[in-house]
């Protein structure tokens, strides 16, 4: 086994982007703590087996990222099992498309509890450990293209991803003195289990399938047609961005939202 580059914890790593990030960081030389909801344990075990085959140490730390106590225990468990924490990737997220007028308070609160409170808790407890360790670190959160441009029929998701940009910038200013960088990534449409109901018959991501309002559909079609790179985004594309942000080479980049 080669010398480890450190320990990385990735939330929402049972599938999709989180799984790809976990595997990429393992290939980069990190030992990995895998997180997802407790009912995803079987999928996490499969990811853990893949990481072990790469010669890296791995542990599973299930938790609901919206619950304060569980996030603290998740971070503590990762540190205990793997010997520290150098990279936190707050990747877990949910989306429940609905128009503003048809959306519910319950849906809004659930989206924010996972997409905004979750990263806040991950940033907080990871930072506490990294400060205590005294060797710096990398904190990386999941924003979205919807965190830069308002998307119709997606107000709660859009607002929660804008929140990640603000959280990231504020945390970057606070934590820079400790050698901790804080950045986020902002994917467009990526082929994952979360977006499978947005695919057309050819497998292309098509958010217009979720939008009944003609004006919103026209706006979304224009946005989609002006995407500069004309291929479906893959989880591995995002993993490569996270790989760089987690690397030593990115030590002078902080407070950014890449995407």
Dihedral (Cα; 139, 7, 187, 124), 10-degree rounding: -30
Record the tokens describing residue 107, joined without a space. 């849906």
Active site residue 161: yes
Record the tokens describing residue 66, joined without a space. 């919206």
Tell me how far CA of residue 37 lies from CA of 6, 34, 151, 160, in angstroms: 24, 10, 27, 20
Active-site hit among 123, 157, 185, 248: 157
Q: Which residues of 166-190 are buried (b: 16+ CB within 10 A; e: fewer)?
A: ebbbebbeebeebebbbbbbbbbbb
Active-site hit among 123, 125, 161, 185: 161
Q: Are 78 and 61 in contact (CB under 8 A)?
A: yes
Alpha helices in the chain (DSSP H): 16-28, 41-53, 68-82, 105-112, 118-133, 155-175, 214-225, 235-245
Active site residue 5: no
Record the tokens describing residue 187, joined without a space. 């994917």
Q: Are 93 and 114 in contact (CB under 8 A)?
A: yes
3-state secondary structure 185-217: ECCCCECCHHHHHHECCCCCECHHHHCCCHHHH
- Residues annotated as part of the active site: 157, 161
């Amino acid at each position: 086994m080669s010398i480890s580059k450190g320990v990385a914890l990735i939330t929402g790593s049972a599938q999709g982007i989180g799984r790809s990030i976990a595997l990429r960081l393992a290939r980069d030389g990190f030992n990995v703590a895998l997180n997802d909801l407790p009912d995803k344990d079987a999928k996490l075990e499969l990811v853990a087996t893949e990481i072990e085959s790469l010669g890296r140490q791995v542990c599973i730390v299930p938790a609901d990222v919206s619950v304060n106590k569980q996030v603290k225990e998740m971070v503590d468990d990762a540190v205990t099992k793997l010997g520290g924490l150098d990279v936190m990737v707050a990747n877990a997220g949910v989306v429940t498309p609905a128009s503003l007028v048809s959306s519910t308070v319950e849906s809004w609160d659930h989206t924010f509890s996972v997409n905004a409170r979750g990263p806040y808790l991950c940033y907080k407890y990871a930072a506490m450990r990294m400060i205590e360790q005294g060797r710096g670190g990398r904190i990386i959160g999941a924003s979205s293209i919807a965190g830069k441009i308002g998307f119709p029929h997606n107000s709660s998701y859009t607002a929660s991803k804008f929140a990640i940009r603000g959280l990231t910038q504020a945390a970057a200013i606070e934590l820079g003195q400790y050698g901790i960088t804080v950045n986020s990534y902002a994917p467009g449409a990526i082929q994952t289990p979360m977006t499978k109901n947005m695919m057309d018959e050819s497998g292309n991501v098509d958010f217009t399938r979720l939008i009944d309002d003609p004006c919103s559909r026209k706006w979304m079609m224009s946005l989609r047609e002006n995407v500069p790179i004309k291929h479906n985004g893959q989880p591995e594309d995002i993993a490569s961005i996270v790989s760089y942000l987690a690397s030593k080479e990115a030590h002078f980049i902080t407070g950014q939202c890449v995407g």
